[in-house]
Amino acid sequence: MEDLIKTLERVTLGLSSLSIDQLIQVCTHLDLEAEDVEKTPKGRLRILRRLLTRINSEVEDSDDGGLELLQTLDSFMKDLKQESEDESVSIDPSSPPKLESTEAPTTHPSATPTDVAHLLRREFRISGQIGEPGQKDRLSFTSLANQIEAGLEKSYPDRDIVQGVIRAIAPGSSLRSYLEGRSKISLPSLRRIIRAHYQERDATDLYKQLSQLTQGAKESAQAFLLKAFDIRQKVLFASQESDSRLRYDPHLVQEMFRHTILTGLRSDAIKTELLPYLDEPKTSDELLFEKINVFSILEEERRQKLTQNKATTVNENALTSTGSSLRKK
């Protein structure tokens, strides 16, 4: 593992020290297209991104973590640098021989280790496709909102997230065409447009909806909890948009969510069992859903037993009454 990390660091930093012509040769070595890139600083960065994406894919997908590819690439780059040095000597025979340096190769002045790490990371992508509101087999608003939040938590730049969302919109749609025409749209503005596209309510209306939510007569406790989860996430998402009239603090939204569960559930037994978990701030949604499922099953078993006991008692009373009548005769 240590060899893999060292080789990966050496290769990524070594790539940043190559000229654009050398980077094109590396692309050819890896069967990557590079002829379409202009020989400009911007083109050089594009080639570097293409190479690092390929390396990152190999590291994640191959059985050896990409070690074989990295070692081959490291050797190939050493040969490129050696050829460059040999050419320099042959061009100017009178120049003194260049002493081999024991220092680590310097990187390109425009590429820092942070830049290389950023380029090495996979580009932000949305899983699923954004279609029309209510369209089946298309991405829901809640799923999209959660993926955007996940991207922010992983420190993706707003611009990368914006581009990822636009790429996820169905090709040929008016929404995608419009957004592609707005080259500098901000993430808060995009949130606003996406919410309008999905015909979602604003944060104030959603917060009110959360506060008034109750379990339906034929609705399971699990379905009620999922609905509360959904509305809570929508409130948080809408609160971050640029036009939100009120920006609800996550702690405030969580407290309202807790209040809604305790006052909206129909079963007092389930409420009592859930209370310790709702009072614990670190309780995850997964644990809460797991517990409400367990408590609902226990509650259903209790209900069935009471029903069976009641039926048994009625039958016994009926038999006793029939026996008494027979004896009297």
HEC string of 278-300 equals HHCCCCCHHHHHHHHHHHHHHHH
Number of neighbours of residue 316 by Cβ within 10 angstroms? 10
Is the residue at 114 inside a domain? no
Using a pLDDT cut of 90, give the percent of the chain over it.
30
**185 and 243 housed in the same domain:** no
Same domain, 236 and 265: yes
Residue 136 has pLDDT above 70, yes or no: yes
How sure is the predictor about 58, in pLDDT bands with cuts at 50, 70 and 90? confident
Nearest to 108 by CA among 226, 19, 188: 19
pLDDT of 89 above 80? no
Report pLDDT digits (tens) over 287-325: 999 999 999 999 889 888 887 776 666 666 666 666 566
Taking the C-alpha atoms of residue 142 and residue 139, their distance in angstroms, rounded to an integer, is: 8
Which residue, of 68, 83, 98, is where some domain finishes?
Answer: 83
Same domain, 277 and 212: yes
**Mean local confidence (pLDDT), 33-59:** 77
Residue 327 within any structural domain of the chain: no
pLDDT at 168: 93
Domain around 158: 141-197
- 187 with 234, same domain: the answer is no
| 17 within a domain of the structure (yes/no) | yes
Pair (154, 213) in one structural domain? no
In a shared domain, residues 181 and 212: no
74 in the same domain as 3 = yes
Measured between alpha carbons, how far is residue 198 from residues 119, 165, 185 in Å?
Answer: 33, 14, 18
Q: Which of 197, 227, 242 is the last residue of a domain?
A: 197
34 lies in some domain: yes
Confirm whether 233 is domain-assigned: yes
Average pLDDT over residues 223-228: 94
Residue 10: which pLDDT band, with cuts at 50, 70 and 90?
confident
Q: Does residue 105 lie in a domain region?
A: no
* Collapsed DSSP state (helix, strand, coil) of residue 214: coil
Q: Do 290 and 210 belong to one domain? A: yes
134: confidence class by pLDDT, cuts 50, 70, 90: confident
**Are 277 and 218 in the same domain?**
yes
Does residue 177 share a domain with residue 226?
Answer: no
Quick check: is 123 in a domain?
no
In this structure, are residues 23 and 44 in contact, taking their beta carbons and an 8 Å threshold? yes
Number of domains the chain is built from: 3
Work out whether the CA dihedral 15, 21, 22, 27 comes out positive or negative.
Answer: positive
Could you give phi then psi for residue 124, rounded to 5 degrees?
-70, 130
Of the candidates 83, 101, 118, which is a domain's last residue?
Answer: 83
Mean pLDDT of 155-162: 89
Joined tokens for residue 104: 């680590």
Question: Mean pLDDT for the chain?
Answer: 80
Give a yes or no: residue 70 inside a domain: yes
| Confidence (pTM) | 0.52
* Per-residue pLDDT tens digits for 268-277: 999 999 999 9
Q: Predicted confidence band at 108 (pLDDT cuts at 50, 70, 90)?
A: very low
Measured CA distances, 80 to 34, 75, 142, 312 (Å): 17, 9, 50, 89
Instruction: Tell me the CA end-to-end span of the chain in Å, nearest whole number.
Output: 93
284 and 227 part of one domain: yes
- Report CA-CA distances (Å) from 126 to 129, 144, 146: 8, 7, 10
| Band of residue 258 on the pLDDT scale cut at 50, 70, 90 | very high
Of the candidates 268, 260, 275, the one whose C-alpha atom is nearest the C-alpha of residue 226 is 260
Q: Are residues 274 and 192 in the same domain?
A: no
Give the least confident one: 73-82, 94-103, 223-232, 303-312.
Answer: 94-103
d(CA 4, CA 1): 5
